[in-house]
Structure 1
Amino acid sequence: MLVRLTYASRAIPSIDHDELQAILRQSKQNNPQHGITGLLCYSGGIFMQTLEGGRLAVNHLYNRIAADPRHHEVVLLNYEEITERRFAGWAMGQVNMARLNPALLLKYSATATLDPYAVSGRASMALFDELVATASVMC
């Protein structure tokens, strides 16, 4: 059974560009062997990520992320059983925030900043769908 899980977390202040790239490399290396695909967005110290795959594999990875000391205030935004993946093309895609039109964030939020804590899980998924549609995702 496939599931899709979306969460948000706040990064510890010491997360820098190099550590973010290391997290992405590790995800791209490890996720395929567990059948996990997804999309990561990072901006202003906030992670928002969607994971797709088998229920046990996704739940296990989410529990590892929630226990990771680089994350705090981990919040489950959405969890659902799915019949097909939305992000099957990425072991872990990353949103290119530099290419993001702030109006897209305003479409789903009160401000033009990424704040998944202030919007519903459904709005976060709609934002991810538009990011994919507007080619704002890097492989």
Structure 2
Amino acid sequence: MLIQLIYASRASRVLGPADIKDILGASQRNNARAGVTGALCLHDGIFLQLLEGDRSAVNVLYHRLLQDPRHRDPAVLDLCEIPHRRFTGWSMGLIAAVEANRQLFLKYSRTAAFDPYGMSTATLRSFFDEVLENVRWLE
């Protein structure tokens, strides 16, 4: 069974470019091995991640993230069964915090600050629909 999990967490410390590169590289390697695809957004110290794949593989990955000291205040925001993957080209794509993407973050936020913790399930799904079509990715 394929599932989609969307979670948010806060960075436990300020992350620099080398940290981001390490997170993305490890995510791409580990997720490719596990057959997990998705997208990672890091904006203003908040991680928002969509994971998709086999239920047990996504669960193992999420529980490993809970042990990662770079994350605090983790919250599952959406979990559902899906008929197919949508991020097939990405073992993990990172959404860049460039100006064009900032406008997207603002579009779906209740306030000027990006806060996925306050987003509804429908809003989160719409956000990632638009991510697929319009964002600039970091590789």
Instruction: Give the TM-score, by structure 1 length.
Output: 0.91
Identity between Structure 1 and Structure 2 (%)? 44
Q: What is residue 30 of structure 1 aligned with on the other side?
A: 30
Contact 2:14 2:45 in 1 (8 A): no
Q: What is residue 126 of structure 2 aligned with on the other side?
A: 126
Q: Deviations over 1:83-113 (max 9, x none)?
A: 1011111010011220435443333222243
| Alignment CA distance shift 1:112-1:103 (3 Å) | farther
Q: What is residue 86 of structure 2 aligned with on the other side?
A: 86
Contact 1:105 1:111 in 2 (8 A): no
Could you tell me how far apart the structure 1 residues matched to 2:102 and 2:70 are? 27
Q: Deviations over 1:10-35 (max 9, x none)?
A: 00124222111101001111111111
Contact 2:101 2:135 in 1 (8 A): no
| Alignment CA distance shift 1:25-1:102 (3 Å) | closer
Could you tell me how far apart the structure 2 residues matched to 1:14 and 1:104 are? 23
Q: What is residue 17 of structure 2 aligned with on the other side?
A: 17
Instruction: Give the TM-score, by structure 2 length.
Output: 0.91
Q: What is residue 138 of structure 1 aligned with on the other side?
A: 138
Aligned pair 1:116/2:116, yes or no?
A: yes
| Alignment CA distance shift 1:80-1:106 (3 Å) | same
Which residue identity does 2:89 align to in structure 1?
Answer: G
Contact 1:6 1:121 in 2 (8 A): no
Could you tell me how far apart the structure 2 residues matched to 1:101 and 1:21 are? 19
Aligned length: 139
Aligned-pair Cα RMSD in Å: 1.5
Contact 1:99 1:136 in 2 (8 A): no
**Gapped regions of structure 1 (runs ≥ 5):** none
Structure 1 runs of 4+ off > 3 angstroms? none
Q: What is residue 49 of structure 1 aligned with on the other side?
A: 49
Shifted more, 63-72 versus 49-58: the winner is 63-72
Could you tell me how far apart the structure 1 residues matched to 2:101 and 2:32 are? 30
